[in-house]
Amino acid sequence: MKDDLAAINVSSGVNEAGVGFCSVSAVTEGGRIILGQLSPTEVRALALAWLEAAEAAEQDAAVLRVVRNLELPDGLAAAVVVELRNTRGEG
């Protein structure tokens, strides 16, 4: 689809006052570009959220594989994944 996300690019910069910033661009499959600037702190927070989401996705997939390998219902995998999502970061 032409509006599907193709890439997110981030580059560093510094303004004339000496303050650092990050330029962020999102590019769609159709070539549309959305530009913006974020602070280094905001980009670090986004990067951490992306890493956490990637890890959670892999854990969720692992739970589903294990449940299917044990020939248990997919509904059980869904229940386990929901419980993991609700309790991540508590321990």
d(CA 91, CA 87): 8
Span 62-83, pLDDT tens digits: 988 998 999 988 888 889 889 8
Identify the band that residue 90 occupies on the pLDDT scale cut at 50, 70 and 90. Answer: confident
d(CA 4, CA 75): 30
Identify the band that residue 41 occupies on the pLDDT scale cut at 50, 70 and 90. Answer: very high
Domain boundary assignment for the chain:
1-38, 49-91
87 CB neighbour count, 10 Å cutoff: 9
> What share of the chain has pLDDT > 90, as a percent?
68
Q: What is the mean pLDDT of residues 9-16?
A: 97
First-to-final CA distance of the chain? 41
Q: Tell me the residue ranges of DSSP E strands in 15-84.
A: 20-28, 33-38
